[in-house]
Amino acid sequence: MRSNRLGWTLLTPSLVVLGIVGFLPFLFVVWVGFHDWNIFAATRGMIWTGANNYRRLVFDQEFLDALWRTLAYTVTVVVIELSLGFLLAQTLTRQFPGRAFFRTIYVLPLVVAPIAVGATWRLMVIPGFGPIPYFLERWFGIEYRIGTYASHAWATAVLMDVWHWTPFVTLTLLAGLTAIPKEPLEQAMVDGANRWQVFRHLTIPMMMPVILTVVFIRMMDALRVVDEVYMLTNGGPGTATTFIGLHIFRVVFPKTDYGYGSAMSLLVLYFTIVLCWLLFVALSNVGKQKA
Amino acid sequence: MLRHRLIVTLSILVFAAMMLAACPAPAPVAPAAPAPAEGEASWWRTAAESAGCVGVTIRGVSESTPPSNFAKDVLGPAFERDSGIKVELETTSWDQMYDKAIKDMEAGTGIYDFVYIEQDIIYAYLANNYLLNMTKFLADNPNLAAPDFDFGKFTTFIDYFKDAEGNVYGVPMEAFIKIYLYRTDLFGDPEAQAAFKEKYGYDLAPATNYQQYRDNAEFFTQWGKDRGLELWGTTVQAASGHPSSFYEVFETILPSGGVYNWGINMENWKASVENGGTMNSDRAKAAFQFWLDLLPFAPPEATSSTWDEVAASFAAGRAAQGWVYGENAAWIATDPERSKVVGNVGVALPPLADESVLQDAEEGRGYIGYYDGGAFGIPATSKNQACAVLWNQYIGQESVQADWAVAASRVVMNSTFDDPKVQEVDAKTNGYFTLLKEQGHLFAGAPPFPFHATIREVIAPYVYRAIAGELTAAEALDQAAAAVDAELPKLGYGQ
């Protein structure tokens, strides 16, 4: 009884802060989502429209396109980062010259703020100023134009995210790999299993909780990417890199369509939760089958 | 041991790098602050004391442009010295500036004591009662009215910052036109002149119409290629995901093609031709297509270029001609540390689709290009209104205008044109200030739309898609006009 009271007492400050900066704004967004509210409209203030904003969303081609674009981007970056991260984590479990140096250097992108990452990459890839287009053109004859070609902008956005976040995936997986017991692996080798069989039937199932965590974190991050891409391409060329976070930002801030933007945010939140849940169920079942 | 040394060395290197990064960059060389007369200096101090402002810090937000940076680096410290009021002016990107100012004023947080009001957003701010009525404030507080400040000294640009009753809500701090810049060395090169005449059958000259502009652009692109130069025929402000490209099309190119006020009919608030607008008219489509067709003759950075990069490209000598915001004219023409084309810059009126556009402008039916500028206004939610009013008057003194004009090629008072310093720069810029003074009336600011930002965001994606080649000019304008016709009734216009 005493420990319960003490627990709640200790938790109270955090809960109050969380309530003020998290829960109340969330409720306000829910409330605004049922209104038409644009501060530059002739009609002042909020006008109750019920579920009209949500109805509009279903037929809003720009919104749906941005959503699909974001999904494709998310799947691409998470798959690449997971594959690369696993490969690097496996490599880092072994001893090789310069390992400590590499581990130190490798995590540096993690300490850079996303907005700075976007700005730095932009400086590197702007034609006429950046070194990447210069050398690609000079050495390989490739005309690299992120402001002109959608595929170039897309690839650069993916590359930038992979550069920024693969170290996080690697570090987390490395921690997982270091923590799994060695005995079952050695026993399987003694019983005649080859390296691939050990990896597929033992390492992967034992790593599944870590993989799940990494995939969830990266997936949620990638679904709401804004600042890096905002700095790099501002969503262009055309709408090639207008991901859903950037689309919502434009609707809410420059366009000041608060009601519709709030409805979009909530639908995307719901979508993210459902996606994570589906993924959790799917990966958990895979893990159980492997075990 | 080796590992330990490596870690220590790396730590030192990282620490040193962080220290170097944290070191402030040397401040730009700015003209000396104006030295006010003894009496004036004491007036600011006395006024600040009477208003309880001595020791107060006022905060402002503005776009990082040459005029704002002059206010921050030169006028702010001078004002602090004279009045005892500290000025913290945050200069940031254009979109961040708006985002911060609007959020502050809408939420009523009172973070900012003065904000940059671009001419195109003033109507929205007035409609929302965001700003302090300076005329009324000074009438109510005559002891705070500075002796060297007078609304009547400003050019007619100040009219943009007045309400229907003539009350002023912002002190103009920048005003300039978007001009046509060209390289005098290239256009004056006898070899280039002969080659041009042979190819096109007429004399090489700064463009006065679209066809001539396109020919010039094509010619100099090929000229650069043939000689292995990093030179293209034109700048194009075509960042394919940034509102700057929308502004170039709708406030520079379409007016030069005879399409005004974004093609929106202000009597019924409709944009499409079938509803009485001109946004998707044949003239608009032709002007937009002309602009899109220039992209092959622009430097590769064009589709990533906002207003800043266009000026940078021209200053780097990468373009033979282009539309450039006038605030950059002075430094491009005179600052050898930032510009490679010093002494080789010509200024002229922008090219037009045909003569009827100039006639429209001269007779007051239209305009040939964009008259840009802004003012510092005081949010109604500011907690230091009196102190901010003093600051606004300080920057609105006649005595500070000439240095400001020389540093940032902006003019907000007629008397500034006659200052010897300004006339000296005028000669170096091949007559930029003269053009502003004598032909400025042919240009106009943004139309008086309270819904400016909202409708811009409706139209802009179609411009971006046209730049990316996803839509033709005609498709983009047809779809944009339809989208505007659908959006305006939602905002309460044209129902």
Among B300, B461, B490, the residue with its CB nearest the CB of A127 is B300
Tell me the per-residue pLDDT of B61-81, one tens digit each, with 9 for 90 and over. Answer: 999 988 999 999 999 999 999
Are B454 and A127 in contact (CB < 8 Å)?
no
Q: A179 to each of A184, A195, A218, how far by Cα in Å?
A: 13, 19, 21
| CA–CA distance, B417 with A70 (Å, rounded to integer) | 53
Average pLDDT of span B124-148: 94
Token output for B483: 């989208």
In the predicted model, what is the mean pLDDT of residues B37-55? 82
Chain B segment 320-349 residues within 8 A of A by beta carbon are none
pLDDT at B54: 95
A residues 81-100 lying closer than 8 A (beta carbon) to B: 100
Answer for the pair B260, B353: CB distance below 8 angstroms, yes or no: no
Sorted by sequence, the CB contacts under 8 Å of residue A119 that are 6+ apart come out as: A231
Which residues are registered as beta bridge partners of B162? B168
DSSP β-bridge partners for residue B377: B115, B170
Q: CB distance from B461 to chain A under 8 Å?
A: yes
3-state helix, strand, coil in chain B (%, to 5): 55, 15, 30
- How far apart, in whole angstroms, are the C-alpha atoms of residue B275 and residue B427? 48
Q: Tell me which CATH homologous superfamily contains domain A59-290.
A: MetI-like (1.10.3720.10)
Please write the tens of the pLDDT for every residue from B373-396. 899 999 999 999 999 999 999 999
Nearest CA in chain B to A250: B457
What is the least distance, in Å, from the CA of A253 to any CA of chain B?
Answer: 7
pLDDT digits (tens, 9 = 90+) for B267-277: 999 999 999 99
For residue A290, the model assigns a pLDDT of: 53
Q: Give the nearest partner residue to B464 out of A39, A100, A239, using CB atoms.
A: A239
Contact B494, B461 (CB under 8 A): no
Please report the pLDDT score of residue B15 as a whole number: 55
Q: Who among A41, A150, A238 is closest to B491 (CB)?
A: A41
Q: Are the C-beta atoms of residues B344 and B185 closer than 8 Å to each other?
A: yes
Please tell me the distance from the alpha carbon of residue B6 to that of residue B18, in angstroms, as a whole number. 18
> Which two tokens mark A221?
């991050």
Q: Please report where in the chains the tokens 């965590």 appear, as a residue.
A: A213
Cβ atoms B100, B92 nearer than 8 A: yes
Q: What is the pLDDT at residue A32?
A: 96
Any idea what the Cα angle at residue B106 is, between residues B105 and B111, rounded to 5°?
35
Encode pLDDT of B331-360 as tens digits.
999 999 999 999 999 999 999 999 999 999
Q: Considering only the beta carbons, identify the residue of A62, A100, A133 that sits closest to B6.
A: A100
Of the candidates B67, B65, B62, which has an alpha carbon nearest to the alpha carbon of residue B89? B62
* Ranges of each domain in chain A: 59-290
Residues in chain B, total: 495
pLDDT band (50, 70, 90) for residue B487? very high
Q: How far B324 CA sits from the closest chain A CA (Å)? A: 18
ipTM of the complex in this document: 0.87
Q: Do B95 and A254 touch (CB under 8 A)?
A: yes
Contact A254/B300, CB-based, under 8 Å?
Answer: no
**Domains, chain B:** 38-176+372-439 (3.40.190.10), 178-370+445-491 (3.40.190.10)
Among candidates A40, A128, A250 on the partner chain, residue whose Cβ is nearest the Cβ of B300: A128
- Stretches where chain A sits below pLDDT 70 are 1-2, 286-291
- Most B CBs within 10 Å, among A35, A36, A39, to test the B interface: A39
pLDDT digits (tens, 9 = 90+) for B138-168: 999 999 999 989 999 999 899 999 999 999 9
Number of residues in chain A: 291
